[in-house]
Amino acid sequence: MKAWLLDNPQPVDTRPLKVAEVPVPAPRDDEVLLRVDACGICRTDLHVVEGELPVQRSPLVPGHQIVGHVTATGARVESFKIGDRVGVAWLNRTCGKCEYCLTGRENLCERALFTGWSVDGGYAEYVSAPASFTYHIPEEFEDVQAAPLLCAGIIGYRCLRLTRLSETGWQGARLGLYGFGAAGHITIQLARSRGAEVYVCTRDRERHQALAHELGATWVGGVIEEPPVKLDAAIIFAPAGELVPAALRVLRKGGTVVLGGIHMSPIPSFDYSLIYGERIIRSVANNTRADGREFLEEAARLPVQTHVQTFPFDHANDALIALKNDAIRGAGVIVI
């Protein structure tokens, strides 16, 4: 099969992914083999390719928002059959035994494996994945539309949960979103359908700000502009540490700032008064399978409309370069 391989992390403008002929993976007893139809690109792929995340495997096939059809199943797989349309996400496998796994926090598992980082991912014609970490894709979504749900969507869903706005009520809640790429444009749809007003701070007037307006943001501004009201919660998707004090500055007492990325530039020091008043800063690390299933149900109910820009399989490096340059409207997806 054809696959994109990363040997060593390099700046993405040097086009570090190389296409190669490699053997089709053989699924283990508890795995399914997928013919990949589409694979979303994610900022985490950029962090992997450029080395902001440590190397876990070399060479590596990146990609962790995979939609495909099952073409083979391992001997112990009962939940899927050949021909099923399925999705594979970032959390690839957990140990099931550590204190986190045993207390409903498998996203924090000490020995977790991750698709497209510690195991091969979906920038390829085929991929194998554990059946118990594979999702059925709701029929409401085309392949290409479904791909960004698998990371951008699930992580956005978990970020919304960690804002704790369900405790104080979604109706009329004021939520800030910092950064408006793949995750932002899905998260706003969930938040608005729950009754929240959404305030979006993002670079790129032409694509990201325009899309935020289109998707019903109450207010849209640049990253250094302050929203005109105090926020009940904020989610920072952009990997820029200076946004943390900026978000705290407009956060009401008792509010939460959720950091949605796996990597962020250093957070500048700030005055205690910005966090006093029981304000909370917390990160989101990965997701549980329950997050994934609950999110896909809610997304299908609305249904969420993903705005995607597709790239042919041969253009994987170009897709990542476009992502780095904020040149994608909504979510980027590689079509295989």
Between residues 108 and 275, which has the closer beta carbon with respect to Zn ion?
A: 108
Q: Is 210 in the site for Zn ion (CB under 5 A)?
A: no
Beta bridge partners of 226: none
* Minimum CB distance to Zn ion, residue 109 (Å): 3
How many other CB atoms are found less than 10 A from the CB of residue 255? Answer: 26
Closest to Zn ion by CB, 104 or 266: 104
Amino acid identity at 188: I
3-state secondary structure (DSSP) of residue 90: coil
Per CB under 5 A, 70 contacts Zn ion? no
> Is 109 near Zn ion (CB under 5 A)?
yes
Q: Mask 143-182, x = binds Zn ion (CB under 5 A)?
A: --------x-------------------------------
State which of positions 42-61 bind Zn ion (CB under 5 A): 42, 44
The single-letter code of the amino acid at 252 is R
In whole angstroms, the minimum distance from the beta carbon of 150 to Zn ion comes to 8
Task: State in angstroms the smallest separation of the CB of 108 from Zn ion.
Answer: 8
Which residues pair with residue 154 across a beta bridge? none
Give the relative orientation of helices 43-50 and 316-324 as an angle to the nearest 10 degrees: 100
Q: Restricting to residues 82-101, name those near Zn ion by CB under 5 A.
A: 94-95, 98, 101
Please report how close the Cβ of residue 43 comes to Zn ion at its closest, in angstroms: 7
Asked if 127 and 68 touch (Cβ cutoff 8 Å), the reply is yes
- Point out which residues bind Zn ion (CB under 5 A): 42, 44, 94-95, 98, 101, 109, 151
